[in-house]
Structure formats: C-alpha cells, structure tokens
Amino acid sequence: MGLDLHADVAELTAALLDVESVSGNEGRIADLVAEALGALPHLKLWRDGDSIIARTDLGRAERVILAGHLDTVPLPTTEGARGTVPASWQADVLYGRGATDMKGGVAVQLALAAGLAEPNRDLTFVFYDHEEVEAELSGLGRLARRHRELLDADFGILLEPTDGVVEGGCNGTMRFEARSRGKAAHSARAWMGHNAIHDLAPILQRLSAYQPQTVSVEGLDYRESLNAVKIRGGIAGNVIPDQAVVEINYRFAPDKSIEQAEAVVFELLDGFEVVRTDAAPGARPGLDQPAAAAFVAAVGGEPKPKFGWTDVARLGQLGIPAVNFGPGDPLLAHSDDEHVSGQAVRDCLAALTRWLS
C-alpha cells in the first residue's frame, strides 16, 4: 500500500514508522517515497540509490532546500522498548524508531511537497539514505558528489528534530578506535600470554572520568560528549585475548577544527594506540546571515544550539546556509522510547506552510 501524502501528517508519520529503515535497509521506504512523489505533476524527480530529489521549477527568485534522512538507528534491544517497529499510538503521542529522528520531519517534507503546488519560493526536497552511519556512506554526500547542481539553493532547512524551534549550527563528530594488544595463550596458563582485554581498563577509566566541555559559540552554548560506543575483544572462551578494541565517539563544539578536536582525544588517551576512523566537522550557528535571520523571524521562538551533528554542516560546506527545524524532542532521538506528539508534527507543517505560501 502506498503513502497518502494528503492524510493527516501525524498519520503519515505513523505510516513511515511502520516501514523499518535501519541504515542500509532504506530500499522499501525510498520506493514508497518515490512512488508517492512521482504522482505529483508539479515536481520533477531524480533517484540515486535510495536517495530522492524532487524539485519545483517555478522560476521563483529564491530556492529553498528541505532535507531529511530516511534511515534510522537500529531497533532497541531492551525488552518492552516502545521506540521500535511497528509504531504505536498512546493518545496523540506516536512511539516508534525514528519518531523524532526523523520520520516526523520526513512526513512534513512529504506533506509540503504534496500540499504546496505553488509555493512562494522554489523548493528542492531531498530524502537520503545512510545518515546514521559513517560519514563516507552518507546519501547526501553522494548526491553532492554526483548531482551537485540539483542541490543548488539559497537557504536550507534540515528537518531534524528541534522541538519546533530553530537550532543553529551543530557539533562536529568523530570516531576513534583505541586498541590494546596482548599475547594469546591457553586461558589455563594465562601467565604464558598477556590479556588485551584487561589492558582496556585504564582507557575506560579515563573515558569514564572525563568531564566534557560546554563551549559558547556566537552566543549559543554547545555541550560536548565523549563516549565509548562499542567494545569488542576475545577469541574464544579458553584463550587469553590478544586484541581488544574500544570505539569512541567525540561530539565537539563548532569552535574546534577537526585537528583541534582530534588533539583532545589523543591527549586524553596518551600512551595508548588510538586511530581516528571517521570525522565530520561541526557548523557554526551563522544566524546572523540574512536568510537564516529572516527564517528565524518568520517562525519565531528563541534559537538554540544543535548538539547532534547534522547535515547543516554538509550544506554549509556546499555554500548553502542552513538551519535545523523539525518536530520532536531531540533528546529522545535514538532512545528506547523514541516518540513524537502528533501536534508537534502538525505545528511544524503549519509553520513551514505559512512561510512558504
């Protein structure tokens, strides 16, 4: 069954949540989005893998890009978690994986695409895959490499969850692997080997003891995070482990370059084998720029910093000033009981419809 883009936008969100689309598995949701948009005669469509671009071509003076990712993080593993697939309603609150991050925003994009046949600005809708994984897999990055001209715009809105206010800029993100090396031996004669897992203790201790900074950038306070996100090691139940690895994620304020942020982690874990595996710079808020300031004035509210890395950084690198503005509490993203209120999705749609009509 296809998507009904003219349904209540909260119902449309529910329909999107029912389609599992963990990163790497966006095929089905991309098919549904492409099929629904394909039925709209005022839009021209492009598809690249599981990313879709849909554009109006009305010769307006200004063009706005509205972007959102189709993928989600994996489903929760905790028993009884409600932020999963399929979605469920509790009164007007919709629970499901991606409810806040960011199928509510995607539903708003789709409703705008269907509802605004004659917007006051030309619109470019972008739906893309692989946002929740390594930066090099990003569908938006791929579109920028292959179809740069289709992304041209004067201003960008990324519909990541911001609880209905504008969130400026974003923290950067980088990943590291810290590795310990031991020597394998039979675990009954441990003294013949060296235990690599035991050697992780001081690394975890330093990470656990580290107090993340909060950095003020252009008046917005960016709170940082530094965490082990995965750990693995060991060969078999009776072998002294010869290797163990901690994956680390550092979310750093947009005052820092990638090199400066990297130095923080290398200094903290000085003496250990640490390599950087992934990095995406942050974006300064830039709300003093005319297009951003005008949008903030139109939708109202007090702008906040964006803690999560978002593709406003990537749009910024393409020369497109962009802000985050979408339904749902960003604090709930990736949580076990991810949810969004139906009203938040409707309000976001209403605000954008007003600005674009």
First to last CA, the chain: 30
State which of residues 236, 270, 297, 302 lies at the interface with a copy of itself (CB under 8 A).
236
CB–CB of 326/108 below 8 Å? yes
Q: Does 350 bind a copy of itself (CB under 8 A)?
A: no
What the block records as the tokens of 108 is 């708003």
Q: Which stretch binds a copy of itself (CB under 8 A): 35-43, 84-92, 266-274, 307-315?
A: 307-315
Q: Does 308 bind a copy of itself (CB under 8 A)?
A: yes
State which of residues 109, 195, 324, 341 lies at the interface with a copy of itself (CB under 8 A).
195
Q: Does 229 bind a copy of itself (CB under 8 A)?
A: yes
CB–CB of 32/3 below 8 Å? yes
Tell me which H or E stretch contains 303: none
State which of residues 336, 347, 353, 355 lies at the interface with a copy of itself (CB under 8 A).
336
8-state DSSP, 224 = P
8-state DSSP, 194 = B
Q: Does 230 bind a copy of itself (CB under 8 A)?
A: yes
Instruction: Give the total of residues touching a copy of itself (CB under 8 A).
Output: 69
86 cis-preceded (ω within 30 degrees of 0): yes
Q: Does 303 bind a copy of itself (CB under 8 A)?
A: no
Q: Does 136 bind a copy of itself (CB under 8 A)?
A: no
State which of residues 216, 227, 260, 343 lies at the interface with a copy of itself (CB under 8 A).
227
Q: Does 148 bind a copy of itself (CB under 8 A)?
A: no
Q: Does 268 bind a copy of itself (CB under 8 A)?
A: no
48 noted as active-site residue: no
Catalytic residue among 50, 131, 160, 167: 131
Alpha-carbon torsion 313, 314, 320, 326, what sign?
A: negative
Count CB neighbours of 325 within 10 A: 28
Q: Does 71 bind a copy of itself (CB under 8 A)?
A: no
Between the CA atoms of 201, 205, 206 and 210, what dihedral angle is there, to the nearest 10 degrees?
Answer: 160
What the block records as the tokens of 147 is 């179809």
Q: Does 244 bind a copy of itself (CB under 8 A)?
A: yes
Catalytic residue among 71, 132, 163, 199: 71
Beta-sheet strands, E only, within the chain = 44-48, 51-55, 63-69, 88-90, 93-95, 122-128, 155-158, 167-168, 172-181, 214-217, 220-223, 225-233, 243-252, 273-280, 304-305, 322-324, 339-341
71 noted as active-site residue: yes
Helix (H, G, I), strand (E, B) or coil at 163: coil
CB of 147 to a copy of itself, least distance (A): 26
State which of residues 121, 179, 251, 314 lies at the interface with a copy of itself (CB under 8 A).
251
Residue with smaller CB distance to a copy of itself, 252 or 295? 252
Of 141, 22, 121, nearest to 66 by C-alpha is: 121
Instruction: Kindly list the catalytic residues.
Output: 71, 131
Residues that bind a copy of itself in the complex, under the rule CB under 8 A = 73-74, 76-78, 101, 132-134, 171, 173, 175, 183-193, 195, 197-201, 204-205, 207-208, 212, 223, 225-244, 246-247, 249, 251, 278, 307-309, 330-331, 333-336
